[in-house]
Structure 1
């Protein structure tokens, strides 16, 4: 479905919303009416496309692939929590390619329309950079939510209330921060490319002074999000390693206790085994011989426990 939305007198938003991929009718319309190339559409329609920035000199079209979060944050497949959207910029038109899980990005562009000043609203790239800011805020909220979940698990570990579900939750957090880290790093790369291009060192991208400053602010914001997710990921990794060390220590303690019990309980078996043999043994024919065997057993047990304590094995 293709909808045209007027952002101001000169700039239009072309909202291309697909359930999953572009249908043939939309693709034909974008090529014939809006003069987009098949190459641009292939990039925009690829749900596995990495974040990137491209410029087609022949058609004077900019393409931005940017990573955003899935609108359904309860989805069980963590690999689908971060998805790409595409923005094509051509002839004062912004082409937004989204699916059902990412169509909320259209609202961010419309929010930018309402918040921009009159002089800023004339700048097409202001809508793009405002959208970047909104996406960065989403990532910051997600990282904060991840930190809250991590703190809950950490408190349970300190209280020795660990369980299999906590191990699985911690593994999910590790996977999620990995996807977030990759997505944010790719977005940062796109922002840096835009900054490089706008400086005129590679190719021409004419931005006003205000818009250029906004791009720099957006770049700084993404870098801060990157540092935030790196820190969160590092803390989760450390907690995971600590958890593994605790579990290993508990296993070692259990094996140590079982070994001591095995040694101690084998002594009565050895002593009674001697006195149960069909052969002559000292004082075996006395009435109090069983008491004597108990005394021997207790003495040997005490000697072994003392030796283990001396070796710091208890």
Structure 2
């Protein structure tokens, strides 16, 4: 029998999990509750096929949501057992077996406290502040077969810029991608899904070393072709999340690592924004792997740094309520 307290704790965990980052704020997850178990499922109706053809980004987002739910339950004092699905053709990704309440986990409490205010920050960033204690801390935070590689300057940055530009321009030329982007960029900020207009206003283009995803559907040019070194105002550090292989369980693990990195950055007063263009397609992940991170596979790149300029801080994007993502069993 599920007590009212446990049911409340599970709903709170799902509410926190809804703050996970996802491609175009698509929130591609569902939860099924059966007794004291929560099953995480991939909601394939929210799969962005043109942008994310192998569901890599969607599964990674689900991994981030799973990590947030786990942190929330740990913060409440529950013991947890995670069981990932071995059937890769099914929508079910993992199950959380939730134990009885004990002493709260202070480290988890600290991270959960900042989850609702964490958001993608597209403003110009200075990445120097992310190169010291922050990187050391996130390396200690890593779990489940993931590793990090940090890029700030040099040939690796040039390679990252070229792969990102090529990937984004290829997407922009695809009519299906353009239609998909239009579907997930609503005019109204009242929508509980998609990227509202006030979250996509800053578009640094050539004034960045490697800019966030552009919502301007015109092809972009490389920084070195359009701006002098002195003109560049956006110089984040780039944290690459790496795994040993490129399978579904790796994408889930990378999502968990991504979530911890973003929460830790928030605790260090650093801004973050995912850079997914160079990993949306397997061919681009393979190119990055060969050029930057052999023998490991890059799963996501995270822009990290201190916000620059006078633009106001972004507000968190709206999220769906628990009632839309939770299927209750017995």
Q: TM (normalized to structure 1)?
A: 0.21
Larger Rg computed on CA atoms:
1
Which structure exhibits the higher relative contact order, with contacts defined as CA atoms closer than 8 Å and separated by 6 or more residues? 2
Larger strand proportion, structure 1 or 2? 2
Q: TM (normalized to structure 2)?
A: 0.20
